Amino acid sequence: MKYYNWSGSHGPRSLRKEHSLRKLTYFIACSIDGFIGDPAGDASSMLAFVDEEFFGFLKAEYPETLPTHGRRPLGLDDLANQRFDTIVQGRASYDIALQEGVTSPYAHLRQYVASRTLTESPDPDVEIIAEDLVGRVRKLKAEDGGLGIYLCGGSRLAGELLGEIDELVIKTYPQVYGTGMPMFGAGFSVTDFTLESVRAFTNGVLVRTYARKS
């Protein structure tokens, strides 16, 4: 997307064309106390809250966040991408699919896996980012056109990319974990975001959307 920025308060206006960066959105599920999984990263207890109402929301608003091998049995392969055309995920998140024998879990998106230990991609449609993660993500954000970038997680990857995240979409499930894997696996740092919307569901799930404070 491109837009024009008019600047200058005196004399003739100058027309300057600028490039609008694609958004990097951390779309993540967590407990009330902010954990995205137990200490091992398991968040299967949250699946109980994906009822008809909440699944309908995901299908209508964020269909591309549903993995391909989950969409096909439900007859959802024809759903168009609404917000994202690219996904970035960490090795641990990708391993969940590999353990099921799935090498291309988001075939409807351009797929990138950040890993320093996975030296070779098991699938031609999955690109491994082994070094300069921030630089590679910045290049993806700077690409012309297209939809946004879905940051799938996990915790450490989100911590490394915190400075590049433009939007948070946090699905909070009505559970308390007490301890577990944090939303951001990073050292202490204060980063301000602005609340844009909150959506509440009858099962107690909240979806909050935040934009990075400019």
Above 90 in pLDDT, residue 11?
A: no
Q: What tens digit of pLDDT does each residue of 48-99 get?
A: 999 999 999 999 999 999 999 998 888 888 899 999 999 999 999 999 999 9
Q: Tell me how far apart the alpha carbons of residues 145 and 137 are, in angstroms, rounded to a whole number.
A: 15
Q: Where are the domains of the chain?
A: 25-31+46-212
| CATH class of the domain whose range is 25-31+46-212 | alpha beta
Which residues have CB under 8 Å from 20's CB, separation 6+?
Answer: 1, 2, 3
Q: β-strand 167-172 against 206-212: which pairing, if any?
A: antiparallel
pLDDT in tens, 149-194: 999 989 999 999 999 999 999 999 999 999 999 999 988 989 999 9
